[in-house]
Structure 1
Amino acid sequence: MKLYQSVGPNPRVVLFYLSEKGLKIDRAFVDIRAGENRQGEWLKKHPRGGIPVLELDDGSLISEATVICDYLDERFPENPLVGTTPEARAAVRSAIRHIDYSIGSPMMNGFRSAEGLPMFENRMLCVPEAAPGNKAYAQDGMRQADALLARQPFVAGDSFSLADISLFCWVEFGAMVGQPIPEDAAHLKAWRDKIAVMPSAIASADPKHGLAD
C-alpha cells in the first residue's frame, strides 16, 4: 500500500498515527501549496482534491485521515489506537467527530477565508465575512476540550488514542495560523505540552520525514 500525504493537520494525523503504531508504509508527497492536488492526475484519485489518501495493493483508495487510521487499526491490531472494545472504539470515534465539527472544520474555514485566502480563493468556496465567526467557533471548541481535559487525562478517557492525535494536530495547526489555544484554557495547554514531547508528535511535524529526496 502507499500513502499520499502533504502538509496540514489531516496529513499530520496519519503521520503521527503511523509513527505511534510503528507502521512502515510507502509514502509520496503531494504539494498542495503548488496546487498539485487540484490537477488532473490527482483528481483521478480524489475528485475533491483531498489529502491524505491511502492506495491499497489492489488499487482501491481510502480517503479522510481518521478513516485511514481506523482502517489501519483494524488491519494491524497490535498497539491499537482506536480502542480494544466496541465501547472504547465508540468513545474514540465520538470524540473525533466532536473535534472535527467543533474545532477542525471552523478552524480550517476561518483560515481559508482569511490568512489562507490567497491560496484557496481560486480553488474552493471561501467566505471572508464568515472568517471571524468560524474562528470564534473554533475557540469555543477548544474551550470545550479544555473542560473535558479538566476531568480526564486524555480526550477519549484514560488512554491515549487517535482522538488525542486528532486534537493535537488541530491545536498545532491553529497555533501556526493565528488561532492559538485560548489563554484561559490551562488544561488544554498542559495536555498539549504533554503530547508535544512524544517522539511521534515530533516526527510528524516534518511531513517529509523519512521520505527519499
Structure 2
Amino acid sequence: MLLYHGARPNPRAVRMFMAEKQLVIPMCDMDVDGGENRRPEFVVRNPAGQVPVLELNDGSWIAETGAIFQYLEETYPEPAFIGSNVEERAETRLWQRRIERRITEPLYAAFHYGKGFEMYKTRMLVLPECVPGPVALMEDGMRWLNALLSVHSTIVPRRLTIADMVLFAAIDFGAGVGWPLPIDLPHLARWFQGIADRPSAEFSLHPRSLQTGIHY
C-alpha cells in the first residue's frame, strides 16, 4: 500500500490513526500548496483532487478520509478506533458525522473562502463574502460539543475513536489559521489537551508545521 498525503488536517488524522494502530505504510508527500494534487496524473486517482488517497496493492485507490479509515480498520481490526461490533461502529459514524457537519466542514469552508482564498480561487468555487457564516457555524458547533464534553473525556463516550482524531486535526489546524479555541469552552479545551498529549498527536505532524507554525 501507499498513502498519498500532505500538509493538511485530514491527512494528519489518517497519520494519527496509523500511529495509534502502529501501522507503518509507505507514504508519498504531495505538495498541496503547489497544487500537485490537482494535476492530471493525480486526479485519475481521485477526481476530487484531494488528499489523502490510499493506493492498494492491486493498484486500485481509495479516496476520502472516512473510507480510508474503514479500509484500514477492517484490514487491521485491533485496536479498534471505529468499533469492535456493529453497534460501536454505528455510534462512531454518528458522532463523526456530527462533528464534521457542525465543526470541521464549516472550519474548512471558512479557510478556503478566507485565508486560503488566493490558493483556492482557481481550484474550486470560493465565496469570500460568506466567511462569517461558516465561522459562526463552527463556533456554535464548538459550544454545543463543549456542553456534551462536560461529562465525557472523548467524543464517543468511553473510547477513543476516529471522531476524536478528525476533530483534533481540524481544531489544531484552525488555531494556526486564525481560529483558536474560544477561551470560554473549558471542556472542549480539556478534551483537546488530552488528545494533544497522546504520542500520535506529535508523531502525526507534517514536517512543514515546523516551517509555517501551522499544525497539519
Q: Classify the TM-score, shorter chain.
A: over 0.9
- What's the CA shift for 1:208? 7.4
- Give me the whole-angstrom Cα distance separating, in 2, the residues matched to 1:9 and 1:79: 22
For 1:21 and 1:207, locate their aligned partners in 2 and report how far apart those are by CA, in whole Å. Answer: 21
- 1:5·1:207 contact (CA, 8 Å) conserved in 2? no
Structure 1 counterpart of 2:181: 181
Determine the structure 1 residue equivalent to 2:73: 73
**Structure 2-normalised TM-score?**
0.93
1:142 & 1:166 partners in 2: Cα distance? Answer: 14
Partner of 2:142: 142
SS of equivalent to 2:131: helix
Q: Where do 1:123-138 residues align within 5 Å?
A: 123-138=123-138
Q: Name the stretch that deviates more: 199-208 or 76-85.
A: 199-208
| CA–CA distance in structure 2, aligned partners of residues 33 and 177 of structure 1 | 14
The amino acid of 2:82's aligned partner reads: V
Q: Which runs of 4+ in 1 moved over 2 A?
A: 206-209
Identity of aligned pairs, percent?
41
Structure 2 unmatched runs, 5+: 210-216
| 1:46-125 aligned within 5 A | 46-125=46-125
Q: Does 1:22 align with 2:14?
A: no
In structure 2, C-alpha distance between the alignment counterparts of 1:98 and 1:37, rounded to whole Å: 28
Q: C-alpha deviations, 1:149-185, integer Å up to 9, x for none?
A: 1121210111111111111111111111111112211
* Secondary structure of 1:28 counterpart: strand
Corresponding residue of 2:41: 41
Contact 1:6/1:207 (8 A) holds in 2: no
Q: What is the alpha-carbon distance in structure 2 between the residues aligned to residue 135 and residue 67 of structure 1?
A: 27
Q: Secondary structure at the match of 1:171?
A: helix
Q: Supply the AA of the counterpart residue of 2:103.
A: I
8 Å CA contact 2:103–2:141 kept in 1: the answer is yes
Residue 66 of structure 1: CA displacement? 2.0
Question: Which residue does 1:32 correspond to in 2?
Answer: 32
Which residue in the other structure is 2:213 paired with? none
Q: Where does structure 1 lack aligned partners over 5 or more consecutive residues?
A: none
Cα pair 1:150 1:187 within 8 Å, conserved = yes
Does the 8 Å CA contact 1:12/1:207 hold for their aligned counterparts?
no
**What is the RMSD of the two structures over their aligned residues, measured on CA atoms?**
1.3
Kindly indicate whether the alpha-carbon contact (under 8 Å) linking 2:6 and 2:206 is maintained by their aligned counterparts in 1.
Answer: no
Q: Is contact 2:16-2:200 (8 Å) kept?
A: yes
Q: Residue 55 of structure 1 contacts residue 61 of structure 1 at CA under 8 Å; is this kept in 2?
A: yes
**Cα deviation, residue 190, structure 1:** 0.7
Q: Deviations over 1:65-123 (max 9, x none)?
A: 12201210111112111111211111111111111111111111111111110111111
DSSP-derived class of the 1:59 partner = coil
Equivalences, count: 209
> What SS does structure 2 have at the residue aligned with 1:200?
helix
Query: Matches of 1:85 and 1:40 in 2, distance apart?
Result: 40
What's the CA shift for 1:207?
Answer: 5.2
Cα distance 1:59–1:208, how it changes in 2: closer, same or farther (>3 A)? farther
Change in CA separation of 1:27 and 1:16 when aligned onto 2, cut-off 3 Å: same
